[in-house]
Amino acid sequence: MLIGVPKEIKNNENRVAITPAGVMAMVNNGHQVIIEKNAGLGSGISDEDYIKAGATILDTAQEVFSQADMIMKVKEPLPAEYELFREGQLLFTYLHLAPEPELTAALLKKKVTGVAYETIQLENGALPLLTPMSEVAGRMSIQIGARYLEKTYGGLGVLLGGVPGVPAANVVIVGGGIVGTNAAKMAIGLGANVTILDLNVDRLRYLDDIFGGKINTVMSNSYNIASAVKKADLLVGAVLIPGAKAPRLVTEEMVKTMKPGSVIVDVAIDQGGSIETIDRVTTHSEPIYEKHGVIHYSVANMPGAVARTSTFALTNVTLPYAIQLANKGWLQAVKDNCALAKGVNVVDGKCTFKAVADSLNLEYTPLARIIG
């Protein structure tokens, strides 16, 4: 198979979808890899590194898209890329279609087979291709929150850990999955008072166990969210219903009760955001805006800022699935691997992921009907 890797074009997206080790593995499996010039530079990987591993470098994204059978990317395609797809092309990347009607329409129109990293799901519910980036974003949410709490960045002027004689800040995390757990780890490390809310009581038990009583675990409901948000200096949005638009759990009225200069980091923005006052996706160039005196951060590609770490963490988990897709073709690969089958969001002009179809009011076609 001919595998194409374009350079990412989202604002400050420095990750790349394949490393030289991945190129070598693909070549050893009998495939060819074409990579857009300078695609790896943001992650510290040169064109020469790729060439040594067996890839061919092409000058433009157009050349990569027009030749490749499978496109491997990191972020969801942007409008400038919609026209580059060929009918029937296989796309393996983060897609986050539920909040993206235009992207979904473009992929359906072009009859692209879209396999989304974030909905590949193991039998135990784990999302193996989302996990490493959620680890990164969860950890980053606290360092970013700490920065914006500083007075010079417009914040309250509080130190997360406080000092002897002055209380630590309150960090409230809504959603205790991978992002939430990693955020908690960092916040505890800095000495903050940490509260995590989740719907899943088993998850709360697990968090209580692993953090040895260093956090407050609270059942997620509107009443408890409202009372936690009111006390939060830093609020982290970290919920997920796989594939679906994020539920808006924190209302505008709740945000109005927060102190001026407090900070919200809505990591769940890539699925549309979990805070009612998050009304836009921000970028690494302009990451924040203020509403009701509260600083809002809603960057949808947080790991792009620490691309060297993130590219290797991401490709460690994507490569084995990419090799299955390349070796067998998508149809046989998803027949053989139910986890991979859950990644298929669109095929041949049809939406095959129920939560996406429901979020966008599209007709849902079960994948089984297509693959037989």
Ligand X SMILES: NC(=O)C1=CN([C@@H]2O[C@H](COP(=O)(O)OP(=O)(O)OC[C@H]3O[C@@H](n4cnc5c(N)ncnc54)[C@H](O)[C@@H]3O)[C@@H](O)[C@H]2O)C=CC1
Q: Would you please indicate which residues are annotated as catalytic (active-site) residues? A: 96, 270
| 299 annotated to a ligand binding site | yes
Residues 78-137 that bind ligand CC(=O)C(=O)O (CB under 6 A): 94, 96, 118, 130, 133
Comparison of 4 and 303: residue with beta carbon closer to ligand X? 303
Q: Show Cβ contacts of residue 76 under 8 Å, excluding neighbours closer than 6 positions.
A: 93, 94, 95, 96, 97, 100, 103
Q: Which residue has the tokens 């205790």?
A: 176
What is the side-by-side order of every strand in the sheet holding 215-219? 215-219, 193-198, 170-174, 234-237, 263-266, 294-297, 288-291
- With CB under 5 to 8 Å by kind, the binding choice for 214 among ligand CC(=O)C(=O)O, ligand X, none is none
Q: Is 281 in the site for ligand X (CB under 6 A)?
A: no
| 140 annotated to a ligand binding site | no
Q: How large is the greatest C-alpha to C-alpha distance in the chain, in angstroms?
A: 67
Q: How far apart (Å, rounded) are the C-alpha atoms in residues 363 and 352?
A: 9
Q: Is 134 in the site for ligand X (CB under 6 A)?
A: yes
Comparison of 103 and 133: residue with beta carbon closer to ligand X? 133
Q: Is 199 in the site for ligand X (CB under 6 A)?
A: yes
Comparison of 41 and 241: residue with beta carbon closer to ligand X? 241
- With CB under 5 to 8 Å by kind, the binding choice for 178 among ligand X, ligand CC(=O)C(=O)O, none is ligand X
Q: Is 271 in the site for ligand X (CB under 6 A)?
A: yes
| Identity at 348, one-letter amino acid code | D
Candidate list 22, 145, 155, 177; residue touching ligand X; CB under 6 A: 177
- With CB under 5 to 8 Å by kind, the binding choice for 135 among ligand X, ligand CC(=O)C(=O)O, none is none
Comparison of 215 and 299: residue with beta carbon closer to ligand CC(=O)C(=O)O? 299
Q: Is 175 in the site for ligand X (CB under 6 A)?
A: yes
The number of residues that bind ligand X (CB under 6 A) is: 34
Q: How far apart (Å, rounded) are the C-alpha atoms in residues 101 and 79?
A: 12
Q: How far is the CB of 127 from ligand X (least distance, A)?
A: 6
- With CB under 5 to 8 Å by kind, the binding choice for 241 among ligand CC(=O)C(=O)O, ligand X, none is ligand X
Q: How far apart (Å, rounded) are the C-alpha atoms in residues 15 and 12?
A: 9
What is the side-by-side order of every strand in the sheet holding 344-347? 56-58, 32-36, 2-5, 70-72, 90-93, 113-116, 344-347, 350-351
Buried b / exposed e along 316-337 (16+ C-beta atoms within 10 A): ebbbebbbbbbebebbebbeeb
Residue nearest to ligand X (CB): 177
Candidate list 20, 40, 303, 343; residue touching ligand CC(=O)C(=O)O; CB under 6 A: 303
Q: How far apart (Å, rounded) are the C-alpha atoms in residues 91 and 83?
A: 14
Beta-strand ranges (E) seen in 200-352 are 215-219, 234-237, 263-266, 288-291, 294-297, 344-347, 350-351
* Residues engaged in binding ligand CC(=O)C(=O)O (CB under 6 A): 75, 94, 96, 118, 130, 133, 270, 301, 303
